[in-house]
Structure 1
């Protein structure tokens, strides 16, 4: 099975000013966000990536280019509309402190499955298209590169949270229990048995363990079974 690394874009000018950017054009990483993206790229440098997929929005493209550059520029960089930002419609461009006074804000916090943004997208629709996109891409990368393939998807906070919720078997109404910071790394491995969530919202630490181990003759590189008792961890040879 392949391994999906979810990376949220670095901090933007909109994040810093407390504005909901949505899909507005021209929202770029600020100085802090650029440094965050570079640090995340350094963390991922030891991991041989077969592809880097990005939301079409500029802040994600900037982050994805940093990740690819740290790989020596070798993995292909592609854009995927399925993992673009939620369409917040009329909410886009408005201050967060102003939006927090809206009735819809409370619904987004407590029952996001019932929330639809005026002039925009329902949160259920956001999750459905994002999950469909990453599962389709994951299967394609595994089919092309084998079960040890590892790839990156650079996306947005609510989108990544919705994908993680799906992998965890959580109802969308519980996804606000998850937190995804700028330039954080979360990791999912989809198998025929179930998805495995290997990490969420990480900011530091060695990721070289994601490099696939040497394949044994007659066996895949990883088992899709959950080891009773928790197992010995990724450094184990068994």
Structure 2
């Protein structure tokens, strides 16, 4: 059968784009991010989905809470499969600092060959996410789920479905509080919408 999957990127924290948040603890949404999350929740209230899953990071949990509240308080299931890439010692660094490091430049130039200081690769990310998604595709009935995660994790899913190389994943945008929708089945996957944002 098929699984309709809504891929939601978390709303913006106060300095999104200024530094690499990664898995740093206590990176939470600011005032604007909370407003973004509320608008995302209101938009998702128009969709039918049966379960809501989120990365364990506080910014994804807060975004998921806004979506859950807009649906009358539906439960949020937390899974490490949707967690941000483990950037190890890069986490917390400003991007201007990272740009001076050869291993960071290698990671961004050719992710098929690069790994983070923690050892995670983009292939690792794809494998953990699709290991999570596979049971939904195998269910006897169609399922509809919403996943709150991170930009590169969502790119990894979309890229796999579209048959893109890992080195091409930076060629499309996944904005804060955006919605990307796809349908997955035993036959493969189909992208329905990408990077829908709420005004």
Mark yes or no: TM-score above 0.5.
Answer: yes
Q: What is the alpha-carbon distance in structure 2 between the residues aligned to residue 14 and residue 123 of structure 1?
A: 24
Which structure shows the higher strand fraction?
Answer: 2
| Superposition deviation, residue 130 in structure 1 | 1.8
Structure exhibiting the larger radius of gyration computed from Cα positions: 1
Aligned to 2:28: 28
CA RMSD of aligned residues (A): 1.7
Aligned to 1:160: 154
1:73 aligns with 2:67: no
Q: What is the alpha-carbon distance in structure 1 between the residues aligned to residue 30 and residue 137 of structure 2?
A: 34
Aligned to 1:183: 177
| Superposition deviation, residue 110 in structure 1 | 2.4
Q: What is the alpha-carbon distance in structure 2 between the residues aligned to residue 59 and residue 13 of structure 1?
A: 11
1:61 aligns with 2:61: yes
Aligned to 1:215: none
Aligned to 2:137: 139
Q: What is the alpha-carbon distance in structure 1 between the residues aligned to residue 117 and residue 104 of structure 2?
A: 12
Q: What is the alpha-carbon distance in structure 2 between the residues aligned to residue 157 and residue 33 of structure 1?
A: 15
Q: What is the alpha-carbon distance in structure 2 between the residues aligned to residue 108 and residue 180 of structure 1?
A: 18
Q: Indicate conservation of the 8 Å contact 1:89/1:119, yes or no.
A: yes
Structure 1, gaps ≥5 residues long: 206-238
Q: For each residue in 1:133-178, what CA deviation from the matched residue of structure 2 results, as whole angstroms up to 9, or x when unmatched?
A: 2333x337x54xx32x321000001111111101111111111112
* TM-score normalised by the chain length of structure 2: 0.93
Q: Indicate conservation of the 8 Å contact 1:48/1:71, yes or no.
A: no
Q: Indicate conservation of the 8 Å contact 1:50/1:151, yes or no.
A: yes
**1:70-219 → structure 2 map (5 Å cutoff):** 70-74=70-74, 76-136=75-135, 138-139=136-137, 142-143=139-140, 146-147=141-142, 149-204=143-198
Count of aligned residue pairs for this structure pair: 198
Aligned to 2:14: 13
Q: What is the alpha-carbon distance in structure 2 between the residues aligned to residue 164 and residue 101 of structure 1?
A: 29
Aligned to 1:2: 3
Q: What is the alpha-carbon distance in structure 2 between the residues aligned to residue 4 and residue 84 of structure 1?
A: 17
